[in-house]
């Protein structure tokens, strides 16, 4: 899709980080916005920034738990009723937890997979039929370098993002089989400045059970915080790369070029069938 003017962008996780920057990029191309997030104050700040940068942008928000299919279906209905449909679907909401995988609680798994995995699954389920019926649209799933490279202390996050890559590839092939005029892009960034390391702030009370951090876990968490806060590519640039990828109907997007080299090294390690590949010490 190349003509974005007056089209509709649906963005989950639109209250902060990459979701906010995607909203600004889409508004800059003349799009109307449908934002979903559990962070209602964050979405209002996104709307304020959009109005300041791109006056006259039409937008609507909805408090959204992406782990709930019925709520994502409500978001699709809102987009249909307010703007007549949707064109770019950014399944972008994401959270993370940290610690050895055997210590992760049931709530840890439920929360992260609910947002990172089911948030994408339900976005696809709720919006794809609309795009096929329109014979126009593009689905953009936010995965991660962690969809290809499995570092320590992030087992649930790694599993969720690996699944997003797999689902995105399958979706693209299924749409090809259906001869649908709907594109797919999977975004796979490494560390960049967002609030992902602070995602516990939006963790629901009924999924609060987690373990006390060990010394090693605290060190890993501190290293993650540093890597995120000192990422060299700002979220605004990644958002712009993503929109340009949609314009070119590009499937894979690796904003951090080093990741592709690490993926090749991982494939070589698999070919040797030896020890586990450590992307932190390749």
Q: Is residue 89 part of a domain?
A: yes
Q: Is residue 267 part of a domain?
A: no
Q: Is residue 263 part of a domain?
A: no
Q: Is residue 282 part of a domain?
A: no
Task: Please give the biggest Cα pair distance in the chain.
Answer: 58
The answer to whether the predicted template modeling score (pTM) of the entire model surpasses 0.85 is yes
C-alpha–C-alpha distance, residues 249 and 268, integer Å: 29
Q: What was the pLDDT predicted at 240?
A: 97
**Domain count along the chain:** 1
Q: Is residue 269 part of a domain?
A: no
Per-residue pLDDT band for 251 (boundaries 50, 70, 90) equals very high
Q: Is residue 1 part of a domain?
A: no
Per-residue pLDDT band for 214 (boundaries 50, 70, 90) equals low
Q: Is residue 200 part of a domain?
A: yes
Q: Which of 118, 157, 226, 252 is catalytic?
A: 157
Question: Residue 88 maps to which CATH number?
Answer: 3.40.50.720
Strands 252-253 and 59-63: unpaired
Residue 216 to residues 43, 98, 211, 212, 230: CA-CA distances in angstroms?
Answer: 35, 10, 13, 11, 21
Domain of 64, in residue numbers: 8-257
How does the average pLDDT of the chain come out, rounded?
92
33-47, 131-145, 166-180, 199-213: least confidently modelled range: 199-213
C-alpha–C-alpha distance, residues 139 and 128, integer Å: 8
Neighbours of 142 (CB within 10 A): 29
Q: pLDDT tens digits for 99-123?
A: 899 999 999 999 999 999 999 999 9
Quick check: is 226 catalytic? no
Q: Is residue 276 part of a domain?
A: no
Q: pLDDT tens digits for 39-68?
A: 999 999 999 999 999 999 999 999 999 999
Strands, DSSP E only, in the chain?
Answer: 8-12, 32-37, 59-63, 88-91, 138-142, 183-187, 252-253
């Amino acid at each position: 899709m190349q003509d974005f003017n007056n089209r509709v962008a649906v963005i989950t996780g639109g209250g902060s980080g990459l979701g906010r920057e995607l909203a600004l990029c889409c508004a800059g191309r003349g799009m109307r916005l449908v934002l979903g997030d559990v962070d209602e104050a964050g979405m209002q700040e996104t709307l304020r920034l959009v109005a300041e940068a791109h006056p006259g942008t039409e937008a609507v928000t909805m408090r959204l738990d992406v782990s709930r299919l019925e709520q994502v279906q409500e978001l699709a209905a809102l987009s249909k009723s307010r703007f007549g449909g949707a064109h770019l679907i950014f399944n972008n909401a994401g959270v993370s937890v940290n610690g050895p995988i055997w210590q992760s609680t049931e709530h840890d798994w439920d929360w992260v997979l609910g947002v990172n995995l089911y948030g994408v699954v339900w976005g696809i389920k709720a919006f794809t039929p609309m795009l096929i019926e329109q014979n126009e649209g593009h689905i953009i799933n936010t995965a991660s370098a962690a969809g290809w490279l499995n570092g320590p202390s992030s087992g649930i996050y790694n599993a969720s993002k690996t699944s997003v890559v797999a689902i995105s590839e399958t979706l693209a092939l299924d749409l090809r089989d259906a001869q649908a005029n709907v594109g797919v892009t999977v975004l796979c960034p490494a560390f960049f400045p967002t609030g992902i390391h602070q995602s516990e702030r939006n963790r629901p009370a009924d999924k609060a059970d987690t373990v006390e951090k060990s010394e090693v876990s605290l060190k890993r968490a501190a290293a993650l915080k540093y890597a995120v806060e000192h990422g060299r590519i700002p979220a605004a640039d990644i958002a712009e790369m993503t929109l340009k990828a949609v314009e070119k109907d590009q499937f894979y997007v690796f904003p951090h070029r080093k990741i592709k080299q690490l993926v090749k090294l991982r494939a070589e390690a698999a070919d040797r069938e030896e020890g586990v590949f450590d992307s932190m010490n390749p």
